[in-house]
Amino acid sequence: MREYSKDEILSLLNAKGRDILSLLSSAESLRSTDKITYSKNVFLPLTDICRNECGYCTFKKTPEDKNARILMNEDKIFNILREADKYGCKEALFTFGEHADETKEVKTALEDAGFHNMVDYLYFICDETLNTTGLLPHSNPGVLKKKELKMLKEVNVSMGLMLETTSKRLMNTIAHEKSPGKDPDLRIKTIEDAGKLKIPFTTGLLIGIGETIEERAESLLEIKRLNDKYGHIQEIIIQNFKPKAGIPMELWKEPSLMEMVKIVAVTRLLFPDAGVQVPPNLNKQNAQVFLLAGADDWGGISPITKDYVNPEAPWPELEDLKIMTEQIGFILEERLPVYEKFISPQFLSDKIINKLETNFFNI
Ligand code: SF4
């Protein structure tokens, strides 16, 4: 596999004119199939409370907000999961604000339900999901300790944490100045610990939150370093910042289409064997262009729940996604929330392997 230096990556991210076409052609040449995948999922935000206050967030609420979800209870979760089962969803995506249990209201709700903290609650919910539904848990609970990751590996088919950026500089800007959990060192440690534990992992970058082109190159190289060392990165999400009414970064510009196209293509060059995803609900007009730049996955698409992190941007209907994919000559195919090459006892717990054998196929 061709190695790229930081200078080469920078020059590709700064490409102009014919050099952009040549970048796209190099990225496209690495595509081994015409399949574009998606995971049929259900999205369960267990709480809206979060210790961070990112300048671009529309998800977090404070306990004083009368619309805040302090803790989604077990009955509600399993009603939604049963509905998702009926729709044939395979992935149960559990996510919530980081270290929410540092907040008194969440701690009390957890104790009332018989749990010490969010990770204990998440473990219980994932375990019950495996025991009582046809869905496979994929959790995205923010920065975690290694022992928490180890515990959750038992009941998760894969896990995720957006690196977003390696830029420490952004910790002093509107994007991350009130978000201790966005310290890149903490996020790198979580992704590295997941690698040591052999957890199939999804990560990615958030583009357009004030990072420089050089910092984008450094962020991609950091994910590559981790993947070269541990081989656990199954998918890289390239997510574009979107200005939204009411957020601190409301008046910021979103990244241009060309910036996005170049970073998607460079991601494909650096990670020829991983899924590269650009969320279609944030790119209604441009989504097809990213497939031409080397993206090969639409991510989780839910037929029954909205994208709580981007509530203003509904997911496309599966039929529309199929049309969008086929219009430019690709084939839409459903995948599991774990990529095939990670389906082995090296990466998955016995419980998950048994579930896959029973519900999905003979391994
Ligand atoms: S973006 Fe995520 S980590 Fe940041 S405040 Fe919102 S919920 Fe918390």
Domain, as residue range, for 56: 6-359
CATH number at residue 75: 3.20.20.70
Rounded Cα–Cα distance for residues 120 and 118 (Å): 5
The total of structural domains in the chain comes to 1
187, 322, 203, 208: which is closest to 267 by C-alpha?
A: 203
Q: Is residue 341 part of a domain?
A: yes
DSSP states along 27-41: HHTT---SEEEEEEE
Which residues on neighbouring strands pair with residue 43, listed in sequence order? 93
* Angle (nearest 5°) at CA 102 between 97 and 103: 80
Q: Running DSSP on this structure, what letter comes out for residue 185?
A: H
What per-residue string of b and e applies to 270-292 under the rule 16 or more CB within 10 Å gives b?
Answer: bbeebbbbbbbbbbeeebbbbbb
- In angstroms, the CA 112 to CA 135 distance is 27
Probe target for ligand 1 pocket from 43, 48, 51, 57, with the most ligand atoms within 8 Å of CB: 57
Q: Residue 363: what pLDDT?
A: 42
Whether residue 58 has its Cβ less than 6 Å from ligand 1: no
Dist. CA 83–CA 304, nearest whole Å: 8
DSSP code of residue 329? T
CA 274-278-281 angle, to 5 degrees, is 145
Ligand 1, closest atom to CA 142?
3
DSSP H/E element including 250: none
Whole-angstrom Cα distance, residue 27 to residue 132?
Answer: 42
Asked whether residue 294 is domain-assigned, the answer is yes
Is there a domain that residue 1 lies in?
no
**Ligand 1 within 6 A of CB of 97:** yes
CB of 308 closer than 6 angstroms to any ligand 1 atom:
no
Write out the E strands in 80-232. Answer: 91-95, 136-140, 158-160, 201-207
Assigned domain for 298 exists:
yes
**Amino acid identity at 237:** I
Query: In whole angstroms, what is the distance from residue 256 CA to residue 73 CA?
Result: 41
Q: Determine the Cα–Cα distance for residues 226 and 196; give it in Å rounded to an integer.
A: 10
In tens, the pLDDT along 169-204 reads 999 999 999 999 999 999 999 999 999 999 999 999
Is the CB of 124 inside a 6 Å radius of any atom of ligand 1?
no
- How many Å lie between the centroid of ligand 1 and the Cα of residue 18? 39
Give yes or no for residue 52 CB within 6 A of ligand 1. yes
CB 252 within 8 A of CB 241: yes
Ligand 1 mutation target, pool 43, 46, 48, 50, most atoms within 8 A of CB: 50
Rg (CA), the chain: 20
Which residues of the chain, if any, have pLDDT below 70?
A: 306-316, 362-363
Is residue 307 in some structural domain?
yes
Whether the predicted model's global pTM rises above the 0.75 cut = yes
Contact between 260 and 274 under an 8 Å Cβ cutoff? The reply is: no
Q: Ligand 1: which of 47, 174, 179, 242 to mutate, judged by most atoms within 8 Å of the beta carbon?
A: 179
| Residue pLDDT, tens place only, 21-46 | 999 999 999 998 999 999 999 999 99
pLDDT at residue 285, as a whole number: 86
